Amino acid sequence: SDVGIQNAINVSARTGLKIHISEIDIQLNPDNTNISTPTSDMLERQRIKYRTIVKAYNALPVSQKYGITQWNVGDA
């Protein structure tokens, strides 16, 4: 959940260490629906999760920001 994501980032930040969010992988089709093109609802849910992560990261003190790493769109 979005609240769970925010809490995880905040709990990690309480250590005082730098925060590096790496290899973000937000599943687009968690139900593994047999489709050839993502629906607008799928894309919107994914967008909201990415936004939640970035907003929580941006709220951290500058001294604790190490970075956010996004890899390619697929493992293949």
pLDDT at 75 over 70: no
Contacts of 40 (CB under 8 A, 6+ apart): none
Residue ranges of E strands in 19-72: 19-21, 65-68
**pLDDT > 90 fraction of the chain, expressed in percent and rounded:** 55
> What average pLDDT score do residues 3-10 get?
90
What's the confidence (pLDDT) of residue 25?
81
pTM of the model: 0.80
* 28 vs 76, residue with greater confidence: 28
What's the confidence (pLDDT) of residue 30?
79
What's the confidence (pLDDT) of residue 74?
58
Provide φ and ψ at 7, rounded to 5°.
-65, -40
